[in-house]
Each structure stands twice: as structure tokens, then as C-alpha cells.
Structure 1
């Protein structure tokens, strides 16, 4: 496993050491990236002799040198659609706690334990809170989770079961973040909010390594990713750059498609208007709770990645999301999460408008199992049939 060379700001390139736990860049408040000396891991010989473990820790040559806090997250299946073999679904619902958030929290709590952090706090739209509670429990760290009061019931049950201190907030994830920010100093919490510490990105970048390895070390033509905070999309792009530096993959990087909900589309709006960052999205509302992020902290990175890749940002209504859940359930035997269905619906739209062709090889991320959303799906069904 490589030693961390330094932390580098994604915005101004300011560098700091990783000897102590850090949050954001002290110069511009940008998100830190973890940088390594990867020189000894270059070449396909290293790539072809990765540790044979069915978890994200098979990519230990590109992860921090620390004892993992793991619940066997990662190495999730990638499955071809029954209707179009060029459409591949990456099933992140197979992770511990049922979503991709397990990857980020595994790496985050690994480093929190490595640094000796005793208490963490996180604002969450739901699934990150459940994953934080689980991995904090595995690490022996005290967790404080703040979530909107209307998050899926499964997320609330998780926090209780894992022994986290849970607070339900009458508001959005942005309101939860304000509470964490106002209390963390007094309470002694380390803030593990999305992109306000550098290691959740490192866990989620393993999705990029994984999908490329599962495709025979080749890039797909496009990647569809449900985008609330956008850490998964940001992490995968970082993975692609690292793999190219290592000589593990070559060719044209995929178009990155950021998928939002029409009721909360700050990044879509910024992309449409040609802006470099989003504005706070007013009156955010969508039953896809993971997409209900009115102002992503890493919006500037998401927009850069989408534009550099030749991709796009696209939003779907809740009715379109629910229709795609039904479509994939009936025709594929897969129960999508609402967030994952925003991505499958986006694929259909981009085929219709000619942005992509049916012959293009695409990977669509179902970021969580639909089984965590049974209460939400009941509400969506009633709303769908009422229209």
C-alpha cells in the first residue's frame, strides 16, 4: 500500500501533509485530493497481480497505507440488461448497508481510526448516515448523524441499530450541515461531511477501478451516475486519471453523465446556464432523497468533469423516475433505487434525443437497493397514479 505523498487542493493546488486529519483547504476552502507516490505500482504486471479479495481493498496499491475498517464492501456485480447487452448496470445495492456509501465510509473510518479520532458527525440525505453509523461502530468511533426527518425509514432504523446518535431535522441536508458546522467545535466532532474530508472520495474512486477491471481493463463509452453530492462521479474521474498514470488503462475516457431530479437540479441548472458552480436550489423537493442536495459542495468539480469528458447533466421528474423503476422491475427483475432510476431514465432520454446510440457501451449505476425505499416507493406509486 502506498504512503500518502500529500493532500492537494482541487481548486488552488495548495498542498498540505496528511500527517494529521484535515478538512478543507485553508487557503480557498476547496476539497483536498489524496496524492500518492505511485511509481512502484506502474505497469500491467502490478495490475494483473492485484490482491484476490472480493472487496474494494483489492485496490490497496492505490489506497492509503492503513489497517482497513471493512465490512467486505465493493466488488459489486455488473450486469448486462436483458434488452440491450450494451447497457450494463453496476449494482451498488450489493454493498454493506445496501448502497455505494459503504465504500466512502469504510475508507473514511479507516483513516479516522488511524488518526485516533474519537467522535465524528455527518449531515446526510439518508444513506451516508446509515453507512457512517455502521462503519463508526466497526471502528469503535462515536457517530452523530443529522438527517432530514422524511428520510427513508430504513436509514433511521440503521442509525438506531448501529448505536449512532441520530437527530432528525425539519429541513434539508443543507440545514443538517449548518447544525454540524455550528456544534462541531464545542462537541469535539470531526466533520466527515461530503467532500469536507479527503477520504470518502478515495473509497468511492474504487468504483472506477472496478468497472474498468470488470470490462477487461477497457473504458465504456459513457457512465451514468446519480448525482446529489457527486462524490462517486468525482472519485471515478480521479480513478481514471490514476489508472492512466499507472498504465493500467488507455483509450478515450467515458462521457460522464450526471443525473439529477427535476425537483432538485442545481448542477443541471448551472450546466445549462454555462456556469462554473451552482446556486442554492430553492424549494428542493424530490422523493429520490439521495438527490435532494440543493447545493453540492463539489459542484465546481462535477461541472469540470462533465465538460472535460464530453458528457452532460440531465434531470428527471419523480414520475419519470417511478416509471423507470417499474420498467426495470417488470422487464429486468431488478428493483432500482429512486436515484438509480434517475440514471436509467436519463439513458432512455439520451437515446431518444440522439446524444447516445444503442450501440454505445454504457455503465449505469444503481447506487442502492430499492429494498431500502419501500416506504418511499409506496408514496411514489400513489403520486404516480394520482396524476
Structure 2
């Protein structure tokens, strides 16, 4: 397993010490990337060993990529290595089922690494704003690590998210507002309360957990890139993590060829990245009156918007916003024809695929991966009101 060499600012490239806890760049407040010495993992011989060891057979989760993750004792609940399911109607469409993770969502990956490193650094109290699912994941992993979790979420977040936080023993504050309001409260209270803020892209290790989605989808496709990846984009950490994974795999010689078009998917009622993309802006503006039943997409200004927009443009991808009616129609379609109960965020990705096929941006013979970021079972109150 590699040692972390340093942390690097995603904006100004300033290096930061990785031996102590860090939040964002001290010079420009940019998000930090974890950089390793990966020389020992170079070559396909190392790649082809993945999944063959006794440890891999016992636990085939994120630990199978320990050659590209921090060399510390993990806090794990068995996250990662989620199914890649072929569509029953189009053999070129694959659904990455992140609902199979602990706590039922992809958030388990990022929070597993964030909590792992927090424990490694000796931290005791963690805090975060959340649109819902990150709160449940933080609560679970903090409980597993014997740490305090202080979670702030909008009061209209799906009930399952609220229940799981309380069940795991987290300190939950419901806020009459959006995740941006929750974030402000965490930032204001953390210094005096002694909390370490693990907000999206305000600590470097959630990206490391999320990048394993990129390693997995490439491995599950036979170490080849798909033509496009559809990603429901609230905070966008998963897209950022996957792009980092693609760069690392190319450096290691584990994959070659053209990287996939990255498709950022948002809801029409909260689409700051889509608007910025369409207007040619380098960063988004705060979205006013944000509203959508896909609560994970209700992020009025992602902290890493400048990174997301750069990735979409570099990849030749695009950004798409769908109405809630369109999203829930796709959710019902996939449930009744594919046997999969998607989260509303995942249904935004399936709806976006149909949209880009109709518009001709993609053709049906291109291989695509659609991310269902969580199980629909966590949204039964929301889905029940729609279908």
C-alpha cells in the first residue's frame, strides 16, 4: 500500500503536508488532492493481481484497490465492489448499482475513507452538512470508529436519512433551509465546538473513497473505458474522484484509450452546473429558490464546481438538467421494465441517457455507464407521493 506523499491544491497546485489533518488550500481555499508514490503499483502485473489474494476473497470491496489508497488501518463496513448491471433493453447500457453499499448509497465510499483518516489523525469529533445520504454514512462510520458525528440536514430530507442518523447515535440538527445553510452552520460552529469539518471537498479523503468507483467500472468492463459515464451531480465528488482514478490508471499503465465523456446530470429546479456549462463559465453562481424531490441534487452551488466543469469540458461531455416529472417517469420505467427501484438521483441519470439519445448527442451503440447513487428504498416517502 502506498504512503501519501503530499496533498496538492486542485487550483493553485500548492503542496501541503499530509502528516496532519488538512481541510482546503491555505493559499486559495481550493480543494486538495491526495498524491502518492505509485511506482510500486505500475504495470499490468500488479493490476491483474487485484482480486486474487486471500484478503480479496474475504472482502472484495474497496480494499482490492489498496495499491492506490492510503496505507492505514481502514474503518470498513464492506463498502465497494457494487454490481454493474446490464440493461435488459439495451446491451450497451450498464447501471452501476451503488445502492448495494452500506447505508444504501455511494456516500459510504467517501465517508469510509474520511473517517478512516480522521481516526488515523486522532480526531474525535466530526461534522458535516448533508442533503441526506452523506449524513447517514457519516453517522454509520463514525459509530464504527467510536467517534462523534454532528450532522446538519434540511428538515425536509427523506425520513430514512433522519432515522438512520439518530439510530447510529449521531447528533442531528434539522435546518429550515438548504444544504448551503447547513454548511454555513457547520463552518460557524466547528472552531468553537472542536469539530473537524468533513464537508464535501473540504477535506481530501472523500475523493479517495469515491475514486474507487472509477477503478471498479473500468475493471468490470475488462479494463476498458466506456464511451460515456452519466453521473448525478450534487456536490460532484464522485465525478471528480472517477476522473482522478482515470488519470492514475493511465499513469500506472492499467488502462489506455480515450477517457469517457462525463455527463453531469442535475434537476431543472437546481441546475447551477448546467447553467454555468451552457454559459461557458468557469464556475457556477448560487442557484436561487433551489427545489427538487431528488434531494441529493439540491445543492445550489457545489464547492468543486470549477473542477466539475473542467472535467465535463475536457472529456467532451455535457451537462443536462431534467424536470422532476421526467425523472420520476424514468424511475417508474426502470422499476417496471428492469426490476430496479432507483433513487430519484439515479433516475435523473437514466432520464438523461434517454434525452441524449433522442437529441443525437450519443448513439445507442455506444457503451455507457449510468450511476444509480442509492437504493430507492431510502426514498419510499418521496417515491410514494409520485407513483
TM-score (norm: length of structure 2): 0.98
Which residue does 2:29 correspond to in 1? 29
Which residue does 2:234 correspond to in 1? 228
Among 255, 260, 263, which residue is 1:249 paired with? 255
Which residue does 1:385 correspond to in 2? none
SS of 1:205's partner is helix
The offset of 1:379, in angstroms, is 2.4
The offset of 1:98, in angstroms, is 0.1
Which residue does 1:68 correspond to in 2? 74
| Aligned residue runs from structure 1 range 10-159, under 5 A | 10-50=10-50, 51=53, 52=56, 53-159=59-165
The offset of 1:248, in angstroms, is 0.3
Deviations along 1:248-267, one digit per CA (max 9) or x if unpaired, are: 00000000000000000000
CA–CA distance in 1 between the matches of 2:190 and 2:6? 25
CA–CA distance in 2 between the matches of 1:304 and 1:94? 30
Which residue does 2:5 correspond to in 1? 5
Query: Do structure 1's residue 330 and structure 2's residue 336 form an aligned pair?
Result: yes
Query: Do structure 1's residue 340 and structure 2's residue 346 form an aligned pair?
Result: yes
Query: Do structure 1's residue 167 and structure 2's residue 151 form an aligned pair?
Result: no
Q: CA contact under 8 A between 1:259 and 1:346: conserved in structure 2? A: yes
Off by >6 Å, runs of 4+ in structure 1 = none
Deviations along 1:49-102, one digit per CA (max 9) or x if unpaired, are: 125231011100000011000000000000100000100000000000000000
Q: Unmatched 5+ residue regions in structure 2?
A: none
Query: Do structure 1's residue 279 and structure 2's residue 277 form an aligned pair?
Result: no
TM-score (norm: length of structure 1): 0.98
CA–CA distance in 1 between the matches of 2:258 and 2:328? 33
The offset of 1:358, in angstroms, is 0.2
CA–CA distance in 2 between the matches of 1:133 and 1:83? 38
Deviations along 1:184-235, one digit per CA (max 9) or x if unpaired, are: 0000000000000000000000000000000000000000000000000000
Q: CA contact under 8 A between 1:260 and 1:314: conserved in structure 2? A: yes
Deviations along 1:104-124, one digit per CA (max 9) or x if unpaired, are: 000000000000000000000
Which residue does 1:384 correspond to in 2? none
SS of 2:309's partner is helix
Deviations along 1:280-326, one digit per CA (max 9) or x if unpaired, are: 00000000000000000000000000000000000010000000001
Which residue does 1:203 correspond to in 2? 209
Q: CA contact under 8 A between 1:8 and 1:15: conserved in structure 2? A: yes
SS of 2:356's partner is helix
Which residue does 2:296 correspond to in 1? 290
CA–CA distance in 2 between the matches of 1:144 and 1:264? 26
Which residue does 2:373 correspond to in 1? 367
The offset of 1:380, in angstroms, is 2.7
CA–CA distance in 2 between the matches of 1:138 and 1:329? 33
Aligned residues: 381
The offset of 1:40, in angstroms, is 1.0
| Aligned residue runs from structure 1 range 373-384, under 5 A | 373-381=379-387
SS of 1:313's partner is strand
Q: CA contact under 8 A between 1:226 and 1:291: conserved in structure 2? A: yes
Q: What root-mean-square deviation, in Å, do the aligned CA atoms of Structure 1 and Structure 2 show?
A: 0.5
Deviations along 1:331-354, one digit per CA (max 9) or x if unpaired, are: 101001000000000000000000
Deviations along 1:335-387, one digit per CA (max 9) or x if unpaired, are: 01000000000000000000000000000000000000000112233xxxxxx
